[in-house]
Amino acid sequence: MAYGGGLRVSDTNLPDILGYITGGPRYNANVAQLALAIRPRVVRAGRSFEAILLVQNASDANVDVTATLQLPESDAQKKPKRFITKAERLVIGLRPAEVGYVVLPVSCLPDTAISDAYKIGMSIEVKPLTKPQRVRTPEGGGEVVVEYINEEALERIHELKKLTFSTARRGLVGSQIEATFSVLSAQQVGQVVDFKPGWFSLWNMSDHLDDHLLAHQYREVLQTKVLPRLKREQLFTPLLAATKKCFGGSRFALEEVESHFITKLLVYVLEMATPSERNFDGMMDEAYNVNRLLWSAEVSDKTFKLPSWCRGMIRMLDRNPQVASAPIQALSTVLYDELLRDAMRYAFKSITDVTTEALGSEDEIEAYIERAITRVTQDTDALTAAEVYLPMLVGGLLVFDRALLKEEKMGDVLEKFSEVLEGRRKAAEEDSVEVLQLAQQMLDRAYQKYTFRA
């Protein structure tokens, strides 16, 4: 299945992490944005300090950045080679839109002359590895929402905000920036710090809430590697095992046929990502058609939204491209919660469409789903029949014939479920009676459909 057009990235302006740290100033070199700081700015002779280069990739391409230190050739009294470093050059590979900083340690000798006018330069070479498109303007970027930055990166960002960054250009040719620092007399107090060179990442596209840019970056991988692997027979067994582990155990004695129907719903949600062009499916929901979403020309930046499982998948791909070779393993483990969230949303909508009854407002249903996800995946208390059946098992009954397995005898499966449901209804607590009655209605509907087809 192919669609014309593509996702728009031209209007994208991702969060300006560099500007948030520096207060705004930046030096633009090709598609990289830079700022230089010395830590500490006032150095004791004989001590080590750091040259810190803040780097922000303003494009959607992978970019190689080479940073080379330019140390003072002599001190204030013209004594040469008073400043030394073991790592004057560092090459870093920036991922699309990535932000981070380079640390290059420097030492000054104990007899370095005192001065407040020393300058360290940093020459920069920026090489995009593919044709880049801008995702941040030369003047900056979008708003930074600190709540969405992980704790470790946020701690580093707050430490960097304390520094004074320079974007002053050195010379008229090439890309070099410089920063000023001071040297005081040597002092034999305190422990000498041995700084280490390195690259520290602060922000990646996977930290961004909007889906469209990551989807643009990984849509070829999704279409050629991930989606083709999502086949019914390969999905069912690992998802069945994950379902039993999640819903079963001592918290709720899930019967085999109940696990079977819940898994059918999960499989169907994934199969909707690449629907067959040959057969019309009235239960199909275009909101889960990932292939169409990725290639739809009418999808705008502001309205584009992927299913939760796919949002999680592209963020995993951004952190580890090898996930593309084992997507089912990811879906049955770390992404199972997200798949469950999609299945619950789809099930509620389908139940509403079939019964024409309002089960609640959109906000109420979303709140119910989030509570259910927490109860199923995190709580240790026993689950009620109502929590297990609504919406997962009721939804599974609705799509009972949408994910048929080889040699599966649908009549036998429905008969087994009927026996289990009868036992559930006899033992039901008061708050589960209405939900189990709804399940009976969906079972009766499945019997009528199956009998008609048979």
Q: Per the domain annotation, does 316 fall within a domain?
A: yes
- pLDDT for 303 equals 62
Per-residue pLDDT, averaged over 205-222, amounts to 84
What's the CA dihedral at 390, 393, 398, 402 to 10 degrees?
140
Query: What is the dihedral angle through the alpha carbons of 353, 356, 361, 367, rounded to the nearest 10 degrees?
Result: -60
More confident residue, 239 or 209: 239
For the chain, give the mean pLDDT.
Answer: 90
Asked if residue 444 and residue 321 are part of one domain, the reply reads yes
Ordered DSSP codes for 67-120? EEEE--SB-TT--B--EE-S--EEEEEEPTT-EEEEEEEEEE-TTPPPEEEEEE
Residue reference for tokens 């592209």: 314
Q: H or E stretch including 179?
A: strand 176-184
Q: Is the distance from CB of 54 to CB of 24 less than 8 angstroms? A: no
Q: What are the C-alpha distances in Å from 66 to residues 135, 204, 257?
A: 21, 19, 59
Residues 190 and 291 in one domain: no
> Is the same domain home to 49 and 33?
yes
Residue 150 pLDDT:
84
> Cα(96)–Cα(119) distance, rounded to whole angstroms?
31
Q: What is the pLDDT of residue 249?
A: 72
**Average pLDDT rounded to a whole number, residues 19-28:** 96
Among 207, 233, 249, give the residue marking a domain's end: 207
Q: Is residue 10 part of a domain?
A: no
Which of 212-216, 252-256, 293-297, 433-437 is predicted with the least confidence, judged by mean pLDDT? Answer: 293-297
pLDDT at 388 exceeding the cut of 50: yes
pLDDT one-digit tens code per residue, 292-312:
988 774 444 556 789 999 999
Q: Confidence class of residue 188 from pLDDT cuts 50, 70 and 90?
A: low
Q: Over 60: is that where the pLDDT of 159 sits?
A: yes
Considering the domain architecture, whether residues 181 and 55 belong to the same structural domain is answered as yes
Residue 4 falls within a domain, yes or no? no
Q: Residue range 112-134: average pLDDT? A: 96
pLDDT at 5: 40
Residue 182: the pLDDT is: 98
**196 in any annotated domain:** yes
Residue 389 lies in a domain: yes
Q: Is the pLDDT of residue 189 over 80?
A: no
- 394 near 439, Cβ under 8 Å? yes
Last residue of a domain, one of 207, 241, 272: 207
**Mind listing the pLDDT tens digit for each residue in 242-295?**
999 998 777 888 999 999 999 999 999 999 999 987 666 789 999 999 999 887
pLDDT in the model for residue 126: 97
According to DSSP, the β-strands at 176-184 and 115-128 are antiparallel
Whether 192 has a pLDDT exceeding 80, the answer reads no
The yes-or-no verdict on residue 104 having pLDDT over 80 is yes
Indicate if the pLDDT at residue 4 is higher than 50. Answer: no
Percent helix, strand and coil across the chain, each rounded to 5? 45, 20, 35
Would you say residue 174 lies in a domain? yes
Q: What is the CATH number of the domain that holds 76?
A: 2.60.40.10
Write down the pLDDT at residue 2. Answer: 34
State whether 224 and 318 are in the same domain: yes
Same domain, 112 and 183: yes
Q: Name the domain count of the chain.
A: 2
Containing structural domain, residue 340: 212-453
> Does 142 have pLDDT greater than 80?
yes
Same domain, yes or no: 185 and 299: no
For residue 8, being part of any structural domain is answered with no
Q: Residue 8: is its pLDDT beyond 50? A: no
Last residue of a domain, one of 160, 178, 207: 207
State mean pLDDT over 110-128: 97
Which among 172, 168, 101, 136 has a CA at the least distance from the CA of 31? 136
Evaluate whether residue 270 is within a structural domain: yes
What percent of the chain stands above pLDDT 90? Answer: 72
3-state secondary structure of 159: helix
Average pLDDT (363-383) is 90
